[in-house]
């Protein structure tokens, strides 16, 4: 059984949650975001994507470190 599709689905959900977190922190939701001019909306969504990507890298790094700790392997 390949766990990769399930892992990818979970990471996709996490990415969406992180984007929503970023948007909410800036005072936006789907309604207020949709009301913005396209250029401004695109800029904010790009910022949210960068934020989410950074957080996902952090999660992946921590996961890798925990795997190393539990298996006793350096890499």
Which backbone phi and psi does 65 adopt, to 5 degrees?
-60, -45
Q: Is residue 55 part of a domain?
A: yes
Q: Is residue 10 part of a domain?
A: no
pLDDT of residue 28: 96
Domain coverage including residue 22: 15-71
Q: Which two tokens stand for residue 33?
A: 């975001």
Long-range contacts of 21-30 (CB under 8 A, 24+ apart): 22/47, 22/48, 22/51, 22/52, 23/48
Q: Is residue 5 part of a domain?
A: no
Q: What's the rounded Cα separation, in Å, for the pair 23 and 18? A: 9
Q: Is residue 46 part of a domain?
A: yes
pLDDT of residue 48: 97
Q: Is 22 helix (H, G, I), strand (E, B) or coil?
A: helix
Number of structural domains in the chain: 1
Question: In a structure prediction context, what are the per-residue pLDDT tens digits for the chain, which is 75 residues long?
Answer: 567 788 889 889 999 999 999 999 999 998 999 999 999 999 999 999 999 999 999 988 888 888 788 887 766
């Amino acid at each position: 059984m390949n766990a990769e599709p399930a892992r990818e689905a979970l990471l996709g959900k996490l990415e969406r949650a992180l984007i929503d977190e970023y948007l909410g922190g800036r005072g936006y939701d789907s309604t207020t975001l949709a009301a913005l001019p396209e250029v401004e909306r695109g800029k904010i969504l790009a910022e949210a994507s960068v934020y989410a990507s950074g957080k996902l890298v952090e999660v992946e790094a921590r996961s890798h470190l925990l795997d190393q700790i539990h298996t006793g392997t350096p890499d």
